[in-house]
């Protein structure tokens, strides 16, 4: 059709501007409240270690212990494949990557625990343990032994533990900063959150600590641990967890699910408290909805079935852990908790197998997407984003090398990251 045959539109610039003005507040709100992923590497797990057990070589010791567990109970990829009930060829393919990970970076995110995993040991003991753990972490950073992410879980801001928790946080920061700058990737876990006011109080505490220690504005961030029913659904019928994120003044980096506290609070019997209980799935679905588009990460909880004891017990625990890890990944939850060194092999194997699944097909689809389409599957930008994001996650954790990602897709890693960060909505 010739341009002369196209009728003139009836909406004038004044009309269009009026519509722009009407929607502009919503545009601003969407940009502010839902900025999307900022491209940072998300750790695939968080390791919780009681403060009195923290040493500068902790990550190295966990890697050695994980390797010793493999040597004792699954010294070959075929034996591990049998334990996990997965094809041996798949485990053989990632076995060198697993061993390299345990040697190079056995822990991605360390959380020094001064809450439930530590208990109440009296003020003097907690003061000493908090400072000693912070100094050990500072030494680990100085020696290049620290994990990429680290922090503490201090006691909650509930009335009974509030002052103790704040004192511990203050002491740890002081001990760390006495040794050098605050480590990159430092964040803290705020447990047992039941109200928006607790998050607002945490924001205030962060601001006051920044001022006291001369830190940059918003240098201190925190994760919200969702382990109380009130954090999921408030008395007003509103999903409290959404309000928690938006009350955090952009300081909330993640939502961590507390499996056992949450299910116990709902009256679920101890033998049925688990990551895959329907009540837990409901809470995590609400968390995912609340976090979508905000740039706040999700983390699942932990499996308390530890790979210890006889070989058959270890194999069963590995199989259970790997199944739960994969289940979380299938639901878009890319992080979880680990409580024991012997959980590292099943964590990394399950994650690596998941992120490498169909690698060649993922590459082919991204090649077609970059070329403008074609093939049996027509991928939309949102699907291309998901495909690229999976590859980038694989690169971050060591499941996929940069060379592999670039080879199968025909695109460089910067382009893959750009696709992965595309804003949806």
- Domain coordinates of the chain in residue numbers? 45-356, 359-420
Burial of 153 (C-beta count, 10 Å sphere; 0-12/13-18/19+): buried
Confidence at residue 382, expressed as pLDDT on a 0 to 100 scale: 85
Of 417, 413, 419, residue with least CA distance to 370: 419
Confidence at residue 378, expressed as pLDDT on a 0 to 100 scale: 54
Q: Give the E-state strand segments of 227-300 in sequence order.
A: 252-257, 297-299
Element (H, E) at 188: strand 186-190
Confidence at residue 41, expressed as pLDDT on a 0 to 100 scale: 95
pTM for this entry: 0.93
Confidence at residue 5, expressed as pLDDT on a 0 to 100 scale: 83
| Residues contacting residue 190 through CB under 8 Å, at least 6 positions apart | 156, 157, 198, 199, 202, 222, 223, 224, 225
Q: 45-356: which CATH number, 3.40.50.300, 3.20.20.60, 2.170.190.11, 3.50.50.60? A: 3.20.20.60
Confidence at residue 38, expressed as pLDDT on a 0 to 100 scale: 86
In the chain, how long is the greatest CA-to-CA distance? Answer: 85
Report the distance separating Cα 401 and Cα 394, nearest Å. Answer: 8
Element (H, E) at 333: none
Per the structure block, which two tokens stand in for 155? 């006691």
What helix, strand, coil percent values describe the chain, rounded to 5? 55, 10, 35
Confidence at residue 39, expressed as pLDDT on a 0 to 100 scale: 86
Confirm if 361 and 383 have CB atoms less than 8 A apart: no
| Residues contacting residue 26 through CB under 8 Å, at least 6 positions apart | none
CA torsion angle 364 370 371 375 (round to 10): 40
Report the distance separating Cα 186 and Cα 215, nearest Å. Answer: 13
Confidence at residue 14, expressed as pLDDT on a 0 to 100 scale: 97
| CA-to-CA dists, residue 71 to 95, 334, 371, angstroms | 13, 27, 47
pLDDT tens, per residue, the chain with 425 residues: 566 788 889 999 999 999 999 999 999 999 999 998 888 999 999 999 999 999 999 999 999 999 999 999 999 999 999 999 999 999 999 999 999 999 999 999 999 999 999 999 999 999 999 999 999 999 999 999 999 999 999 999 999 999 999 999 999 999 999 999 999 999 999 999 999 999 999 999 999 999 999 999 999 999 999 999 999 999 999 999 999 999 999 999 999 999 999 999 999 999 999 999 999 999 999 999 999 999 999 999 999 999 999 999 999 999 999 999 999 999 999 999 999 999 999 999 999 999 999 899 999 999 988 887 655 555 678 888 899 999 999 999 999 999 999 999 999 999 999 988 876 55
Of 185, 190, 331, residue with least CA distance to 256: 190
- Side-by-side strand order, sheet with 109-113: 297-299, 252-257, 222-226, 186-190, 149-153, 109-113, 45-50, 336-338
């Amino acid at each position: 059709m010739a341009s002369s045959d196209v009728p003139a539109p009836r909406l004038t610039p004044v009309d269009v501007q009026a519509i722009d003005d009407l929607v502009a507040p919503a545009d601003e709100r969407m940009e502010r409240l839902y900025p999307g992923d900022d491209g940072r590497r998300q750790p695939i797990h968080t390791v919780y270690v009681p403060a009195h057990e923290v040493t500068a070589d902790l990550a190295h010791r966990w890697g050695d212990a994980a390797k010793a567990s493999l040597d004792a109970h699954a010294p070959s990829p075929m034996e591990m494949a049998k334990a996990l009930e997965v094809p041996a060829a798949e485990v053989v393919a990632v076995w060198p990557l697993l061993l390299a990970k345990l040697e190079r970076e056995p822990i991605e995110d360390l959380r020094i625990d001064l809450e439930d995993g530590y208990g109440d040991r009296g003020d003097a003991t907690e003061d000493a343990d908090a400072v000693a753990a912070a100094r050990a972490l500072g030494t680990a950073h100085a020696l290049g032994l620290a994990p990429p992410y680290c922090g503490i879980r201090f006691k909650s801001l509930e009335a009974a533990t509030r002052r103790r928790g704040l004192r511990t946080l203050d002491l740890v920061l002081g001990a760390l900063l006495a040794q050098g700058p605050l480590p990159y990737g430092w964040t803290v876990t705020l447990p047992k959150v039941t109200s928006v006011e607790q998050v607002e109080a945490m924001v205030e505490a962060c601001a006051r600590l920044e001022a006291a220690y001369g830190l940059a504005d918003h240098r201190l961030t925190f994760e919200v641990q969702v382990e109380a029913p009130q954090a999921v659904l408030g008395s007003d019928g509103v999903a409290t967890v959404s309000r928690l994120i938006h009350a955090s003044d952009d300081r909330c980096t993640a939502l961590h699910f507390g499996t056992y506290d949450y299910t116990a609070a709902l009256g679920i019997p101890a033998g049925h408290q688990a990551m895959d209980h329907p009540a837990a799935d409901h809470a995590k679905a609400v968390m995912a909805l609340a976090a979508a588009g905000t740039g706040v990460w999700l983390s699942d909880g932990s499996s308390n079935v530890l790979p210890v004891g006889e070989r058959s017990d270890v194999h069963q625990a590995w199989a259970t852990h790997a199944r739960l890890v994969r289940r979380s990944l299938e639901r878009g939850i890319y992080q979880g908790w680990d409580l024991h060194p012997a959980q590292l092999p099943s964590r990394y194997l399950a994650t690596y197998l998941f992120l490498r699944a169909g690698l060649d097909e993922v590459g082919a689809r991204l090649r077609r997407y970059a070329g403008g389409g074609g093939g049996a599957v027509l991928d939309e930008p949102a699907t291309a984003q998901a495909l690229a994001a999976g590859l980038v996650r694989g690169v971050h954790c060591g499941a996929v090398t940069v060379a592999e990602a670039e080879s199968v897709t025909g695109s460089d890693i910067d382009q893959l990251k750009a696709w992965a960060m595309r804003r949806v909505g």
